Structure 1
Amino acid sequence: MLLTEKLKDTNIILASQSPRRKELLAGLGLQFSTISLNIDETFDRNEFKKEQITEYLSAKKAKAYTDIQSNDLIITSDTTVWVDDESLEKASNREEAYEMIKKLSGKRHSVYTSVTIRSLEKEVTFSDETQVTFADLTDDEIYFYIDNYKPFDKAGAYGVQEWIGYIGVDNMNGSYFNVMGLPTHKLYKELVKF
């Protein structure tokens, strides 16, 4: 039985306002609604590394939704960029975005996305990693991207589906959609099992 048929009577709720996550979930052929959750996204940088960060935050978002009903299925997600033993989340201004992209320039980094699926009966959290290698980027290229695309809502201050992905990504090992913010291949399999 296809996933769309299996979940046709399920109220799927994507707890994200990310246009990219909405687009990717819609790409699976599912009907869903969206909500916004305001949670404190701080974490202990000594305690959490790599996908532990995104797993912690994704599960925290899922637990923050308290109005869950019997046929609800909540989907939450979190993404981080990991380079030089450091997590790069969202940049808060132009200079922070520049510093982040400069750190990625000419190097390989990992993008971790974790997803939590929660119902009244159970909850599962899983992760995916994609390794991305950036070309050497000039300051002019970095500032052009920041000034024209305003990537302040994205982990690592870049969107792979935008101009910088077209000119800056030399190599990728893993899921492109994971870098966009939702590992659709894994989400599909987990929803089938769930």
Structure 2
Amino acid sequence: MRLILASASPRRRDLLGQIGVAPDAVDPADIDETPHKAERPADYAARVAAEKGAVVATRHPGALILSGDTVVAVGRRILPKTESEDEARACLSLLSGRRHQVFSAITLVNGEGRAWHRLSTNIVTFKRLEQAEIDAYIAGDEWRGKAGGYAVQGRAAGLIRTIQGSHSAIMGLPLYETRTLLKAAGYPID
């Protein structure tokens, strides 16, 4: 049974390794990830994960396809995967001293095209950030391409007061849900 990871994220591949899974291939979907008008963050994460899985499934008939998407949200506002220092600084300033949600959606498509979906909802609370802390974090370049402008597995861990939920989901792949879906699909784990 071939497993294709529909993601360019090295973190997702590393996370799969934590549960003893090595995908046979990595094939990013490269889809338009623009949120729809008035789309809620959880719905957006689930839709994008499903679309990625569907696109990659057409390129690998008969294989299991695992796709995912992680969204950082403040209320109904979806924060970007930051590409500039200004974006990252704006995200960190917004997250400073407050709670926000991280939605991590996965889709598993089997060889017959049937899809299963799971969503992990998590809450992260940052400490009130001093300007010097934001400046130091920005200078470290860890924010680049990260949803909400931070990586929980890196230096930002020292700025987070509490996490409610799955650490792996906040990193980009909810391992409990992933393992459960793979086992249900007959993928050899354990």
Q: TM-score, normalised by structure 1?
A: 0.89
Q: Is the 8 A contact 1:134 1:171 kept in 2?
A: yes
Is 2:79 aligned against 1:88? yes
Listed as ranges, the matches of 1:67-106 within 5 Å are 67-70=59-62, 72-106=63-97
Identity %, equivalent residues:
31
For residues 49 and 95 of structure 1, what CA distance do their matches in structure 2 show?
24
For structure 1, the residue ranges without an aligned partner over 5 or more in a row are: 1-9
In structure 2, the partner of 1:6 is none
For residues 76 and 36 of structure 2, what CA distance do their matches in structure 1 show?
14
| Equivalent residues, number | 182
Q: Is the 8 A contact 2:71 2:103 kept in 1?
A: yes
Could you say what the CA RMSD is over the residues aligned between the two structures, in angstroms? Answer: 1.2
Is 2:160 aligned against 1:169? yes
Q: Is the 8 A contact 2:69 2:105 kept in 1?
A: yes
**What code does the residue aligned with 1:43 have?**
P
Q: After superposition, what is the alpha-carbon deviation per residue over 1:62-120, rounded to whole angstroms, capped at 9, x for unaligned?
A: 111222222x1111110111113311120120001100011111001110000010123
For residues 61 and 36 of structure 2, what CA distance do their matches in structure 1 show?
32
Q: Is the 8 A contact 1:68 1:119 kept in 2?
A: no
> How much does 1:141 deviate?
0.9
Give structure 1 regions of 4+ aligned residues with deviation exceeding 3 angstroms: none
Residue aligned with 1:126, SS? strand
Is 2:19 aligned against 1:28? yes
- Find the partner of 1:193 among 176, 180, 184: 184
Q: Is the 8 A contact 1:90 1:153 kept in 2?
A: yes
- Find the partner of 1:149 among 141, 145, 152: 141
In structure 1, the partner of 2:188 is none
Query: Structure 1 residues 84 and 43 mapped into 2: Cα distance closer, same or farther (>3 Å)?
Result: closer
For structure 2, the residue ranges without an aligned partner over 5 or more in a row are: 186-190
Is 2:126 aligned against 1:126? no
**What code does the residue aligned with 1:114 have?**
A
Q: After superposition, what is the alpha-carbon deviation per residue over 1:145-176, rounded to whole angstroms, capped at 9, x for unaligned?
A: 122134121110100011111x2110111111
Q: Is the 8 A contact 2:73 2:79 kept in 1?
A: yes
> How much does 1:144 deviate?
1.1
**What code does the residue aligned with 1:152 have?**
R
